Amino acid sequence: MIRDVSFPAIYMGLLAAFVGYSASFAIVLAGIIAMGATDAQAATGLFFATIGMGICSLWLPAITRTPAAVAWSTPSAAFLAANAALPGGFGEAAGALLCCAGLIVLTGLVPALVRIVAAIPKPIANGLLAGVLLKLCLAPALALGDIPYLIAPVLLAWLVGLRWNRLAAMPFAVIAFLVVLYFSVDQSESLFRNETAWLPAFNPVAPTFTFQAFISIALPLYLVTMAGQNIPGFAVLELNGYTVDRQPLIRNTGFVSLVIAGFGSVPVNMSAITAAMMAGEDAGRDPATRYWAAITSGIAYVLLAFAAALVTSLVSLAPVALITGVAGLALIPALVSSLSAAFDEPSQMEAPALTFLIAASGMTLFGISGAFWGVIVGAVVWFSKRLTR
Burial degree of 142 (CB within 10 A; 0-12, 13-18, 19+): middle
pLDDT tens across 70-79, in order? 988 888 888 8
d(CA 48, CA 93): 16
- pLDDT profile of the chain (389 residues), mean per 10: 77 86 85 89 92 93 90 86 83 94 93 80 85 86 90 92 83 88 66 56 84 90 86 84 88 94 91 81 83 92 90 81 84 84 85 90 77 86 80
Note the Cα 37 to chain centre separation in Å. Answer: 18
Predicted local distance difference test score (pLDDT) of residue 314:
80
Residues 6+ apart with CB under 8 A from 340: none
Predicted local distance difference test score (pLDDT) of residue 223:
87
- Sort residue 241 into left (φ over 0), alpha (ψ -120 to 50) or beta: left
Residue 241 three-state SS: coil
Predicted local distance difference test score (pLDDT) of residue 59:
92
CB 292 within 8 A of CB 13: yes
Q: Which domain holds residue 273?
A: 2-388
Nearest 10 degrees: Cα torsion 74, 53, 59, 234: 10
Predicted local distance difference test score (pLDDT) of residue 192:
47
d(CA 344, CA 342): 6
pTM above 0.85, yes or no: no
pLDDT tens across 164-207, in order? 887 788 888 888 988 888 887 665 455 544 555 567 777 788 89
Predicted local distance difference test score (pLDDT) of residue 341:
84
- Tell me the CA distances in angstroms from 125 to 273, 295, 346, one per residue in order: 18, 30, 16
d(CA 152, CA 225): 32
Question: How many structural domains is the chain composed of?
Answer: 1
